[in-house]
Amino acid sequence: MSAVKENGNLQQGPIIEVTDLHKQFGPHTVLDGVSLTAHTGDVVSLIGASGSGKSTLLRCLNMLEIPHRGKVCISGEEILLKTNRHGQTVPANPRQVDKIRTRLGMVFQNFNLWPHMTVLENIIEVPVRILKQPKAEAIAYAEALLEKVGMSAKRDAYPGFLSGGQQQRVAIARALATRPAVMLFDEPTSALDPELVGEVLKVIRDLAKEGCTMLLVTHEMSFAREVSSKVLFLHKGRIEESGTPEAVFTAPVSERCRQFVNAQQWKS
């Protein structure tokens, strides 16, 4: 997972490039001119208080939320937006968005597994139905992913019979099944009981060691400090602090970031 290839050619430059991104919900500004880049192998953690814009930023990358202004490029390709007749910003080419989403594996807070499908069926659904992979090939890769996340024994189980930690590990396998260039994690442990958090963090930690490119929204500060190559602190829709984990967690320049980090360390 340490290289990105498009049509057999090595992709140069950032895998993700966000420029001056703005997003509002009604009168409330959620993102206020956010810019960031991520390169192959980067693990970028987004931290900050609830409501600071972290999850919205992640969701704008794959157009689950449509930014009002700014630019998002994935593997060098800009996602094209336009203004419709109602004055709303929408994707100019929905097919382009569908294609780009296959490059971005998304793991949500609440698992979002299809309850009527087995674990294996959840993982092969998109590769078979959307990417048109041969079913036998998709199953073989799914089984390898289940082995990776420690869920091989549950391949024929339904999500309702799994713990939260097990469901989230399956969700990670499902996100990996499209062989994405980047994994997006939106607070992947926030819905878990404390005793189940570790098993999910272990999977993410292993992916980081393998060189998987990741953007991670998390409240697990010690984990972010351990696995990240870069940490971004968001406050009121802006990136107020950006740097290495060492810099952000031990010597933040922003007073607001210093207060946040100190508060989180006190909780732990």
- The tens digit of pLDDT for each residue in 186-244 reads 999 998 998 899 999 999 999 999 999 999 999 999 999 999 999 999 999 999 999 99
How many whole angstroms separate alpha carbon 72 and alpha carbon 69? 10
Which 3 state secondary structure label does DSSP give 133? Answer: coil
How many whole angstroms separate alpha carbon 133 and alpha carbon 158? 23
HSE value, Cβ hemisphere, 13 Å, CA-based, for 197: 12
Per-residue model confidence (pLDDT) at position 40: 95
Question: Any idea which residue has 């878990």 for tokens?
Answer: 192
The answer to whether residue 2 scores a pLDDT higher than 70 is no
How many whole angstroms separate alpha carbon 263 and alpha carbon 78? 38
| Position 3 confidence tier, pLDDT thresholds 50, 70, 90 | very low
- The tens digit of pLDDT for each residue in 139-170 reads 999 999 999 999 999 999 999 999 999 999 99
Per-residue model confidence (pLDDT) at position 267: 59
- The tens digit of pLDDT for each residue in 107-129 reads 999 999 999 999 999 999 999 99
So what CATH class is 40-64+94-267? alpha beta
- The tens digit of pLDDT for each residue in 81-108 reads 999 999 899 999 999 999 999 999 999 9
Q: What is the pTM of this model?
A: 0.91
The answer to whether residue 1 scores a pLDDT higher than 70 is no
The answer to whether residue 12 scores a pLDDT higher than 70 is no
Per-residue model confidence (pLDDT) at position 122: 97
